[in-house]
Amino acid sequence: MGEILDYLTSSAVSLTVSGNTGISPFLTLFLLGIIERSDPTLLNMDSTMEEILASVPAIGLLGLLTILEFVGKCVPVIDEMIDSVEVFIVPVLSILGSLGTLGLLDLAAEAAGIDDIGQERQLSSSSWDDTTLTAIKVTLIIIGVFLSLLIHLFKMLIRLIGLTVCVGICQPCITIVEIFLTISGVLLAIYIREIAIATAIILILAAAFAIKWKFIDKKDGDDNDDDNEENNEQSPSTNTAATATLENAASKNDQEGNDEENPSSKTNPEPTKVSPSAPIEPSESTPGNAQLPPAFNPNYDGPTIPESEVEKLPVALVVEVVPDG
């Protein structure tokens, strides 16, 4: 049981370091170099990784890049540029971080007694053990690369939320939180390896959330947009009828407005033309002793109806006469 726990904790340390490269890559490698230089037996790096991460020039360069990264991420516009560039840098630094911690697996193998096996059994099983250990290391490196990218994506999401809510004011606070999480995560995982299992699980959950947000939720949103577009394409007649109705209503309103502005433009029925020479025939209901007025004739000098007789007429005739010509 103790051997399995050693392998689990060593693997968890490797994944924790890879995940923290997605949060603050230069700071993570800087901490690995400082730890290896202070106690070479703790991480058990090989000579090549010691030269890359724990040499004085390497520590100085990583420290300078860490400071520049910290300053740049406090500025709202520059932090987006840094995150975009780090998308291509994080996988490489994740591989370096994993290689810097794979010596812990060698220590776990030594603690399991692989090097103390009898000569006869070692010849038969040593190659299988080395192959298995190498396969575990390669698997951890590959998983670490994907984990670092997903954690970097999750960090960009948090920064985007902070930029939207606080209009860039929260960026320095988010940067300080990232620095604190990286330092505490790396140091606790290396010095208290049982905690590395919990930190690795937290990083994996954050990576799963990033996958859900980036690939599942976003895909569902795109599918809904496509469905809406298809529904709009499948019902063009409805849209056309609605558009025509709106256009007719607008045209009617415009016409009414023009009629109100230009009342003379309204169409009036033409008056009935009556020939001046045409006499008006009396109706049956007209009293016998009453005479209808003759048709209007400017040159007519005949008799007219008295005013007393006009009141006795059953119907008042109003004729609008339009002269010819």
pLDDT band (50, 70, 90) for residue 118: very low
**Is residue 127's pLDDT more than 60?**
no
**What is the number of domains present in the chain?**
2
pLDDT tens per residue across span 22-74: 999 999 999 999 999 999 888 989 889 999 999 999 999 999 999 999 999 98
Whether 157 and 33 map to the same domain: the answer is: yes
Whether 38 and 184 map to the same domain: the answer is: yes
Whether 312 and 214 map to the same domain: the answer is: no
Whether 138 and 69 map to the same domain: the answer is: yes
Burial class (CB in 10 A: 0-12, 13-18, 19+), 151: buried
Of 89, 101, 82, 85, the residue nearest 11 (C-alpha) = 101
Residue-range definition of the domain harbouring residue 310: 271-325
Whether 145 and 280 map to the same domain: the answer is: no
7 against 233, higher pLDDT: 7
- pLDDT at site 160: 85
Please say which residue of 225, 245, 279 terminates a domain: 225
Is 162 a member of any domain? Answer: yes
Residue 36 has which token pair? Answer: 């290896």
Is 278 a member of any domain? Answer: yes
Is 251 a member of any domain? Answer: no
On whether the CB atoms of residues 207 and 147 are closer than 8 A, the answer is: yes
Is 288 a member of any domain? Answer: yes
- Percentage of the chain surpassing pLDDT 90? 38
Is 281 a member of any domain? Answer: yes
- pLDDT at site 274: 46
**Is residue 126's pLDDT more than 50?**
no
Tell me the C-alpha distance between 188 and 309, whole Å: 125
pLDDT band (50, 70, 90) for residue 276: very low
Whether 217 and 281 map to the same domain: the answer is: no
**Is residue 312's pLDDT more than 50?**
yes
Residue 291 has which token pair? Answer: 């005479």
Whether 290 and 215 map to the same domain: the answer is: no
- pLDDT at site 182: 94
Whether 177 and 322 map to the same domain: the answer is: no
On whether the CB atoms of residues 34 and 186 are closer than 8 A, the answer is: no
Q: Which of 71-80, 223-232, 236-245 has the lowest mean pLDDT?
A: 236-245
Whether 211 and 318 map to the same domain: the answer is: no
Residues in the chain: 325
